[in-house]
Structure 1
Amino acid sequence: MLRNIADSESSFTSIHNKTANNAKLSLKRTAAVANLSGAEGKIPKRSQKENLNDKFSELKSKMTSEQQIVIEYMELKFLSVEEQITSAKRSILYDIGQKYQTHSSHHKSNNSAASTKQADESWQSKIDVSFPIKDLEIFKSFDKDLKINIEMRNVVLLKKEIQILYSGVERVTKSVGKENIKATEVFSLIREFIENKYSDQRKTIKIIRVISTYLSGAGVRDGGRLTRPKD
């Protein structure tokens, strides 16, 4: 009988030790999972929003049916307000986009109109020919237009505002010194062209005299007599 008791105690001790070892092993595994290294990954932390949602759900479960109805009604109202705000935001952004496009188109239209007006007033628009002329038919047409088109014949190299600043020679007019047109490269090219073209003429062409006379009359051109200040 004593032997049976001893065997029972030994068996109980063995089972107890085995259970204790299993429990320790389980605790170690749990601790290992709870303390994962950075390389193995960390247990993600719950956000404040998730925690609040959990607390709110727990609170709702403890509410009466009437209280839950009130909460659900408020949630629907909040969703409705959020949708209205989103819709208003889209509408405002759309209006801003439309106004920007309208302003941009209007600005481009004004620039285009100004450019067109400026081009119409330029000598290119009056002559409507690109220089140098490379096509015989275009040149013949241009030459024909020069005979019948007054505007083409009256196109000048310098506007009146520049003409009045120059004279055939450097001289002082009304205490104001004028630039010498003879010293410019433009005059040199004009003289070279005319002298080469009429080199066989016996009579000397007084180029500077003709240009000087033309420049001296700049003050009375284009209504100059009416706008010129009186002495």
Structure 2
Amino acid sequence: MIIDDDKLLRYGLQRILETASDIRVAVVCDGREAVAMAKRYVPDVALVDIQMPDVDGFDVLAELRRLDTPPAVAMLTGFGSEGNVMRALSEGAAGFFLKDASPHELIPGIRLLAAGGSALSSRVVRALASNPALAPSGRSPSVESAPLKSPGAALTAREQTVLELLPTGMTNSEIAQQLSVSRSTVKDHVSTILAKLGVANRIQAAIAAHHTNSQGVATTRRATDSAWDSRT
């Protein structure tokens, strides 16, 4: 479901998303119709524009979350101010996309949202990672209360590899396919990564991954990597 006051944009997004055989856009509408259409079509995912002349996107987010069968909501905007991102996440959005995001971000992101995950545009991840309040020494309490631990230090080589793939928006199945391992193995790795980093979800792990990469924090590639391959 795409909710945007710009008819050209929403139909353009529909065409982009429906190039994927596993994605069907059930309805496109403006903010005034959003709740009624969501009740009628019961979408798995809703993309919601933040700034619409008739209704505020955050109000639409709140209304959708109150539905008996709420969709996973990703906010959609032409600009990704940290204030908007933090408000969206704190009010229950599962994702945040910029309107100029490429299909390579949007389509995997929609799949991840439909599977119960979270997704952010890569530029949003970079912006959050550069915010001192969200760096590994601490982050905004509006997202989660537990502080981030220093990323990377306690991760195995394979966990680091999985961590580096999280900001791409890939699902566990897609990561498993790329690494030639089982989906359950990737799921276990993601759970371990979240625990080791002291974060609550993939979004925070993605921020930690970007911060690690931007700071050049090295993780030792252990010689036991071949042993990991034999275990999986």
TM-score (norm 2): 0.20
Based on CA coordinates, which of the two structures has the bigger radius of gyration? 1
TM-score (norm 1): 0.20
> Larger RCO: Structure 1 or Structure 2 (Cα < 8 Å, ≥ 6 residues apart)?
2
Q: Which has the higher strand share?
A: 2
